[in-house]
Amino acid sequence: MNTTWPRALKTSRSLSRKIAVFLLLVTGILALPFCTRHPYKSTNASHRQQVKALTKELKSEPNQSFGTDSILTAPYWVGTTNFGLRKPSYVIIHHTAQHSTDETLKTFTLPRTQVSAHYVIGKDGRVFHMLNDYFRSWHAGNSRWGNQGDLNSFSIGIELDNNGYQYFDSLQINSLLVVLDRLKKTHNIPAANFIGHGDIAPTRKNDPNWRFPWALLAQKGFGLWYDSARKPVPEGFQANQALRIIGYDMRDTTAAQVAFKRHFLQDTTRGLNDRAREILFNLQQKYF
């Protein structure tokens, strides 16, 4: 009896099974990226629904009724042809005070937190553009700069992944500069209007922390900075008045002074020393 042919058939079948298993594994591995669920699929859907609701409101004709007979209402609606979007005029820089970019992204996608930003930049320089620049994000909170309150309504919020005590990574700062450059050009934002959360909310916030490189940003055209040459401060110089002119909310003098020193001196102590007064005088003379 010839047993060669059955053995060959058995070997062939075994080899075929191995090849089939191998191909199945390869196919599964290649398909894995396409099967992986997007971690923010559901919140992205919610985002789109909210955008749709807001744009629907914008498309509707203005309400002609004022709910009273004391004024005359027009017999028909007349829509102006001269209008545009309200552009942001400030950029507010924050640190996240959290431990990772992923933690911040999760925080900004939970409705109960009621906090958000337009941009989040990770330590590795990765940029997450979370909200259209023309929408109002909830990043500034109770805030004031000069005569302006409610900074949320006309500012862009940028959050940098940083727990509040760390130095800022060079990759992160490089990405920030690219984003700031685009925002400045797109929205025609003045150099003076690139400020920190701690500047507009000095009693509540201290971000970005004192290690943030404001001098570098100013060199690139984002924010104010003082001259290197030192000039004597004249007698009678009103330092607190200069703080108010720059934009600080002086309802809490101590908090405003600390915010100023953190921004321009990387100093978190209270009170205005001689150097702080020199810088204040220089800024007032240079810009105001």
Query: For residue 1, what are its two tokens?
Result: 């009896």
Q: Which helix (H) or strand (E) holds 91?
A: strand 90-95
- According to DSSP, the residues that pair with 148 across neighbouring strands are 145
Active site residue 159: yes
From the list 57, 61, 103, 159, the catalytic residue is 159
d(CA 50, CA 53): 5
- Report the phi/psi class of residue 67: left, alpha or beta, with left for phi > 0 and alpha for psi in -120 to 50: left
d(CA 113, CA 240): 36
Query: For residue 244, what are its two tokens?
Result: 């108010």
Per DSSP, the three-state class of 257 is helix
User: Which amino acid makes up residue 164?
Assistant: G
Burial classification of residue 84, based on how many CB atoms lie within 10 Å of its CB (0-12 exposed, 13-18 middle, 19 or more buried): exposed
Residue with tokens 């500034």: 140
All residues at 6 or more sequence positions from 205 whose CB lies less than 8 Å from its CB, including other chains? 141, 197, 198
Per DSSP, the three-state class of 13 is helix
Helices (H), 205-252: 214-219, 239-246
**Which sequence positions are flagged as catalytic?**
159
